[in-house]
Amino acid sequence: MSLPPLALRVLQGLGALWTAPNTLIGLIGGLAGMVAGARPSWNRRDLAIVFRDWPWGPGGAITLGNVILHTGPVLDVACRTYAHQAGHCTEPVIGLHDHERAHVYQYLVLGPLYLPVYLACGGVSARNPFERAADVYAMTGRGWWPGIG
C-alpha cells in the first residue's frame, strides 16, 4: 500500500514531533561533536540531520530520532549486516545510509519509546529485531519494521 505524497509527509511530520525528545539527544551529541570537527547537513532522503566526522565511537553510525551521528566523512558507504559480522550467515554488503534510514523510520513510529524498546530487544546486536529489520531494509528497500519484509 502506498500513501499519497501529502499524507506521507503529514505522517512523517507527526512522527518527527513524536520522536523530538530523541532528536534533541542527537542534536546535543552532534553539537558537542562540532567542537571536535563534526559537520552537520540535512539529508532529505534519510529524513535526518547527519553529523559527519563525529569524533567519538568505534566507527559507523548511530541514529537518535531524526539525527544520525556518523564517524566517517560520508554516510553513503558499504558495510556488513549484523548477522554477517556475527558469523550467523553470509550476506551481501549493504549501504550504511539505508540501514540508518530504517532506524529513522522506526523512531518515527515509536518516538520516545524507541530507546527503551530497542535496549529491551538486545541493544546493538545481531539478535535485535530492529537491527535485523534495518539490515533487511538496506538489502531490499522493504521491511524496515521488525517482522515485516
Read off the pLDDT of residues 22-53 as tens digits, 9 standing for 90 and up: 999 999 999 999 999 999 999 999 999 999 99
> Residue 97 corresponds to which amino acid?
H
Report the candidate in 43, 70, 63 with the shortest Cα–Cα distance to residue 134.
63
Is 66 in contact with 16 (CB distance < 8 Å)?
yes
pLDDT reported for residue 77? 95
Q: What is the pLDDT of residue 95?
A: 96
Read off φ and ψ for residue 49, nearest 5 degrees.
Answer: -85, 120
10-residue mean pLDDT series, the chain (149 residues) = 87 97 99 98 95 94 98 95 89 96 98 98 94 96 87
H or E element in which residue 129 lies: helix 129-140
Distances in whole angstroms, Cα of residue 129 to Cα of each of 39, 60, 137: 31, 19, 12
> Would you state the pLDDT for residue 130?
97
What pLDDT score was predicted for residue 149?
Answer: 61
Query: Which stretches does DSSP call E strand in the chain?
Result: 39-43, 48-52, 61-64, 67-70, 78-79, 94-95
pLDDT of residue 1: 60
Residue 58, pLDDT score: 85
